[in-house]
Chain A
Amino acid sequence: DSGVTQTPKHLITATGQRVTLRCSPRSGDLSVYWYQQSLDQGLQFLIQYYNGEERAKGNILERFSAQQFPDLHSELNLSSLELGDSALYFCASSPTGGRSPLHFGNGTRLTVT
């Protein structure tokens, strides 16, 4: 058990809809990362937050947004969903930054129909 909790485990929704994925980092970790894993793109870094502030941005679409709350949990919001957004979305946390090993949650599998 990595200590990172992601909910829900599975999500099935229709095109055009909006969903929110939630992540609770390991106790004491200040940094949260979101990754998207798909068959064609592999593991793609989306965004990182550190202690509530956005720290780094990767290949995140404008339809996607995230935030980290004062209690350090994070949410990833995906809107105007398309079929191609179907993927596994992982949250990871670390004490500080990426030079520390990341601890991954078990992911949320999103299926857009």
Chain B
Amino acid sequence: AQSVTQLGSHVSVSEGALVLLRCNYSSSVPPYLFWYVQYPNQGLQLLLKYTTGATLVKGINGFEAEFKKSETSFHLTKPSAHMSDAAEYFCAVSNFGNEKLTFGTGTRLTIIP
């Protein structure tokens, strides 16, 4: 079985500050990992994904995430927060041979001016 835990349902950071959203996963086989963002009244949009290869993954809008197998983590970071980053962020995991995505409970990011 696969699962995802997102630590912190709400995170607030000041504009220009570092954004760090935490995600830990559980998987019995090498996982595929994803971060999605959801803006109000919209569907989810893919930010970035990890499948195999380089463990540091760069995504859209300046976000990146690092796959750490030893820590079973896939935390999302952005060096400098922008007001437009305010949204809900979801971490998701998929296993080889299991085609559905399992999502975490989401982290709502608020940017303080």
Chain A positions within 8 Å of B, measured between CB atoms, are: 2, 4, 31, 33, 35, 42-43, 45, 48, 55-56, 58, 90, 92, 97-99, 101-107
Please classify the interface of chain A as helix (H, G, I), strand (E, B), loop, or mixed, using the class held by over half of its residues. strand
Residues on B with beta carbons closer than 8 Å to the beta carbon of A90 = 43-44
Cβ of B34 and Cβ of A101 under 8 Å apart? yes
Contacts A2-B45, A4-B43, A43-B106; is A99 near B94 (CB within 8 Å)?
yes
Q: How many residues of B contact A (CB 8 A)?
A: 23
B71 interface hit (Cβ, 8 Å): no
Cβ of A2 and Cβ of B105 under 8 Å apart? no
Contacts A99-B32, A99-B51; is A48 near B99 (CB within 8 Å)?
yes
A-B contact count (CB 8 A): 57
6 sampled A-B residue pairs with Cβ under 8 A: A56-B100, A90-B44, A103-B46, A104-B36, A105-B43, A106-B42
Please classify the interface of chain B as helix (H, G, I), strand (E, B), loop, or mixed, using the class held by over half of its residues. strand
B102 interface hit (Cβ, 8 Å): yes
Residues on B with beta carbons closer than 8 Å to the beta carbon of A98 = 32, 94, 98-101
Chain B positions within 8 Å of A, measured between CB atoms, are: 32, 34, 36, 41-46, 49, 51, 90, 94, 96, 98-106
